[in-house]
Structure 1
């Protein structure tokens, strides 16, 4: 599962602008895209969304997505304490 920056910010207890600002300060984002996509590809991904415009033809927008493993990694990079993950008790006999 991948999350948008807005979803990630909510999960980390921040607003989207504050998350982006902190990620830029740490050198994780350049603009709103990953600064080092090859280095951080296990945690941050560029999502390309194409659409067709009658006047200009195919258009493409790019946005950053955070992978499931990237949540904890990002919290560590930004010095944010995440709540403990509750134990899964479904398989207890």
Structure 2
């Protein structure tokens, strides 16, 4: 499972701009909000390439950062954030 920066921020109880600011401060993101060290951090962060066709401007290309599942605890550790508590599993209660 991967999360966008927006969903990762909500997971930590932050706004997307606040998460991006913290990640830039720690040197995890560059000025384009992409991983500053894509090879080093490849187990935690990924660049997603997208493209679409625009009637007037032609092909459009974009890149965004995705946080991998293993990246959530790693990000919390890097930024000094608290991981939300895991809800209790009550499925086995009769």
| Category of TM-score, reference length = shorter chain | 0.7 to 0.9
1:40 maps to which residue?
A: 41
1:50 aligned to 2:51?
yes
1:21 aligned to 2:21?
yes
How many residue pairs align between the two structures?
A: 92
CA RMSD of aligned residues (A): 1.7
Distance in 1 between the 2:57 and 2:42 partners?
31
TM-score, scaled relative to structure 1: 0.87
1:65 aligned to 2:66?
yes
After TM superposition, give the deviation of residue 88 of structure 1 in Å. 5.4
TM-score, scaled relative to structure 2: 0.86
- What runs of 5+ residues in structure 2 fail to find an aligned partner? none
Structure 2 counterpart SS, 1:29: coil
2:75 maps to which residue?
A: 74
**Preserved CA contact (<8 Å) 2:34 2:64:** yes
Distance in 2 between the 1:18 and 1:57 partners?
33
